[in-house]
Chains A and B, each alone.
Chain A
Amino acid sequence: MNGLRRERLQGQPLQVGDREIVPEAEIWSFQAKQIGLKENGASGGGAWWSWSRPTALIERRPGGERRVRIDDRNLQLEIMLIVAAIVLPVLLTIFTRWANRSSEVQRVLRISPER
């Protein structure tokens, strides 16, 4: 089936003492394929991509359940830098326009005959 798909899966539990550790992961996948059928043959192609990432370890013990998140620190840093790289030009452009406008207003006020 063509399109984007997202699945959250749990793996085989790992028994450690009286506790059970269940790994959990998220899998993103995308596929696109097409075949053209003709009278004397067929041609086509396709592509498939997937990204599997860990989400958490679920610790089950007789007293209850605890979820330990697994963070991708590199990815977090990269997302933070990308957001900063988008926000920075916007802020600097707004600042430049504001600064140029206020200096223009001051210049007009300085040469105005009323003053």
Chain B
Amino acid sequence: MPEQPPANPLLEDSLNEFFATFERAQSSASIDNVYGQPITYGDSVVVPVASVSQFFGLGLGVGTDQRAAGRDGGLGGGGTARVKARPIALAEIMPEGVDVHPIIDENRALTAGLLFAAWAVFWAARTLVKLFK
């Protein structure tokens, strides 16, 4: 029978917390983040709609010095997290139907367009050089 590691409350707590963090993260990704609180405006109800991305990473180390009289233990760790919400549309619920008004991030669209234009100019120049060299 394989030898079981000795019971260690610090280790046990740390591991439980490590796995619980992932459980909590999974439950935090919910549909409530995507659809905002409805706002009544005249006859209509407006619902803000967003795209949400979340990320976190963590690392930890737990150690005990079993030779020490008091079985000293230590715990270290670190992590990073990022949450980003981007508005996508406004949903307007009117008496006659539902209408979705998209929200365009002009700065983002312009950046993407400029990057593409630079890429296209580079390839056009490269093609001309290859044709006429």
Contacts and interface: CB of A to CB of B under 8 A. Distances in A.
A68 interface: yes
Contact of B57 (A47, A52, A66, A69): A47
Nearest to B117: A81
Nearest to A21: B93
B100 A57 contact: yes
Contacts of A105: none
A107 to B, nearest CB: 14
**Interface residue SS majority, chain B:** mixed
Contacts, number: 178
Nearest to B38: A14
A42 interface: yes
A45 B25 contact: no
A19 B44 CA distance: 13
Contacts of B89: 54, 70-71
Contact of A100 (B62, B116, B131): B131
Interface string B26-40: 100111111100100
A100 B51 CA distance: 48
Contact of A96 (B56, B58, B60, B127): B127
A57 B59 contact: no
A52 B100 contact: no
Contact of B45 (A16, A33, A53): A16
A102 B52 CA distance: 52
B57 A72 contact: no
A42 B61 contact: yes
A40 B63 contact: yes
B116 A46 contact: no
A81 B11 CA distance: 50
Nearest to B133: A100
A84 B115 CA distance: 12
Contacts of A78: 108, 112
B91 A74 contact: no
A39 B7 CA distance: 10
Which one of A9, A41, A68 has the greatest number of beta carbons of chain B within 10 Å?
A41
B6 to A, nearest CB: 8
Interface of A: 9-11, 14, 16-17, 19, 21, 23-25, 27, 29, 31, 33, 35, 37-54, 57, 59, 66, 68-75, 77-78, 81, 84-85, 88-89, 92, 95-96, 99-100
